[in-house]
């Protein structure tokens, strides 16, 4: 795919004729959003509104922040974000109902199964029910596969048993029958044990008649060692062949450890090739980036200062932005005759 020249200074300056990301794509293009930043960072808000047409709450709907005590809920940030999205006709992907991280202390790994069942049901019914008919989709279970394969040891598995995964989907489906329900995980993009384990899990869930509609591939990538585009395409194809949808759910590309050459050019290629590997496959239904600009990213605290996203700290588009836009747009272009 030919690269378009990098034209700095969107919007207005630079004569870039390409238009925003969302307009280039035939699928929704989203970003993980922090409702607090929407209030206090004008560049963040303006860039989000200009370039994206979908949002995922980065933290606001997670168990710890939203349900910090057994009978106490903190729904204001999530409500604000959903209202913001609705006001700007953006699609909302809920994230995430059942995950082993960001959990409140009151979730006790010693609780008996009947109590775990009640706790799980109350959490899912309350949260999914609150936004019934308003959210397009949910990450119902997040990262349940251990890195070495097999189900991860979590409070849910310990207290409820392995069936917690299926149960979570059934509860979510009952609470909002119209929402598309996802299993979401990292490190399962290309070929490998983790991808095989995710494939086996979702296949088994479908065999059991569990209301599962799709798989989210997170795509927290390292430019130094990206997955092979052909392996991504093959993995997505086998998931689609199960009748599932697939989305890229949390994409970012870290470049700190990239050696040799221009790291921003390499980042552009990694973004473009991974997205191009998926675009155009029927059932591949969207791309979400895990943040808006390099000014705010979880990567800095977890892996050290980096430049993982599509916009720089001043909200200027990076080479990666143009690579992504090319990949998104390519699937729309009619084939030459
Ligand atoms: O909100 C509190 C704040 O009150 C407190 O003062 C501050 C002090 O550290 O912490 C704040 O919470 C932090 C929160 O981000 C909001 O900034 C948490 O400590 C921190 O752990 C949390 O990190 C989030 C991380 O998930 C938790 O594991 C990241 O923002 C978020 O980007 C990241 O996202 C996950 C996806 O949900 C699932 N897939 C992997 C991805 C990256 O880890």
Assign 260 to helix, strand or coil: coil
Task: Give me the pLDDT at residue 16, please.
Answer: 67
Q: Are 170 and 210 in contact (CB under 8 A)?
A: yes
- CB contact set of 200 (below 8 Å; sequence gap of 6+): none
Cα(218)–Cα(235) distance, integer angstroms: 13
- CB of 74 shorter than 6 A to ligand 1: no
Distance, CA 7 to ligand 1 centroid (Å)? 33
Q: What average pLDDT is seen over the chain?
A: 94
Mean pLDDT (whole number) for 156-161: 98
Cβ contacts of 109 within 8 Å, gap of 6 or more: 155, 158, 159
pTM, to two decimals: 0.94
Instruction: Find the helix or strand (DSSP H, E) in which 284 lies.
Output: strand 284-289
Of the residues 51, 58, 218, 250, only one is catalytic, namely 250
Ligand 1 contacts CB of residue 250 (under 6 A): yes
In sequence order, the β-bridge partners of residue 216 are 184, 247
125 is catalytic: no
pLDDT tens figures, 54-103: 999 999 999 999 999 999 999 999 999 999 999 999 999 999 999 999 99
Which of 298, 300, 309 to mutate to test ligand 1, by most ligand atoms within 8 A of the CB atom? 298
Question: Which atom of ligand 1 has the smallest separation from the CA of 290?
Answer: 32
Nearest Cα neighbor of 323 from 296, 287, 282 is: 287
Token reading at 145:
């596969």
Q: What is the pLDDT of residue 260?
A: 86
Q: In Å, how far from its chain's centre is CA 221?
A: 13
The per-residue pLDDT for 337 is 59
* CATH tag for 21-330 (out of 3.20.20.150, 3.20.10.10, 2.60.120.20, 3.20.20.80): 3.20.20.80
User: Which residue is associated with the tokens 């690579």?
Assistant: 323
Q: Which helix (H) or strand (E) holds 138?
A: strand 137-142
218 is catalytic: no
Pocket test for ligand 1, best of 58, 60, 183, 302 (most atoms within 8 A of CB): 58
102-307-187 Cα angle (round to 5): 50
């Amino acid at each position: 795919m030919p690269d378009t020249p990098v034209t700095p200074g969107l919007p207005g300056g630079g004569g870039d004729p390409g238009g925003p990301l969302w307009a280039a794509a035939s699928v929704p293009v989203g970003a993980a959003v922090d409702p607090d930043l929407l209030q206090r960072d004008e560049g963040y808000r303006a860039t989000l509104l200009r370039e994206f047409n979908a949002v995922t709450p980065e933290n606001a709907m997670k168990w710890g922040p939203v349900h910090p005590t057994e009978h106490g809920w903190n729904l204001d940030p999530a409500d604000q974000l959903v209202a913001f999205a609705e006001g700007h006709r953006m699609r909302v992907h809920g994230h995430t109902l059942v995950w082993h991280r960001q959990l409140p202390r009151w979730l006790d790994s010693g609780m008996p199964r009947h109590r775990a069942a009640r706790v799980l049901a109350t959490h899912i019914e309350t949260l999914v029910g609150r936004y019934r008919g308003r959210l397009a989709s949910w990450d119902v279970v997040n990262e349940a596969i251990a890195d070495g394969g097999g189900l991860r040891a979590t409070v849910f598995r310990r207290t409820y048993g392995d069936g917690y995964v299926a149960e979570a989907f059934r509860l979510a489906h009952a609470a909002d029958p119209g929402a598309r329900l996802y299993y979401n995980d990292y490190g399962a993009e290309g070929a490998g044990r983790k991808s095989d384990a995710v494939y086996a899990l979702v296949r088994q869930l479908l065999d059991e008649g569990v209301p599962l509609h799709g798989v989210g591939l997170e795509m927290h990538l390292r430019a130094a060692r990206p997955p092979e585009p052909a392996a991504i395409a093959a993995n997505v194809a086998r998931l689609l062949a199960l009748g599932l949808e697939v989305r890229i759910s949390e994409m970012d590309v870290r470049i700190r450890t990239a050696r040799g050459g221009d790291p921003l050019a390499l980042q552009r290629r990694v973004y473009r090739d991974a997205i191009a590997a998926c675009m155009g496959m029927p059932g591949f239904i969207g791309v979400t980036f895990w943040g808006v600009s390099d000014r705010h990213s979880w990567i800095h605290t977890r892996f050290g200062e980096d430049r993982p996203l599509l916009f720089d700290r001043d909200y200027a588009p990076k080479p990666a932005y143009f690579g992504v836009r090319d990949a998104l747009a390519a699937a729309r272009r009619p084939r030459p005759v």
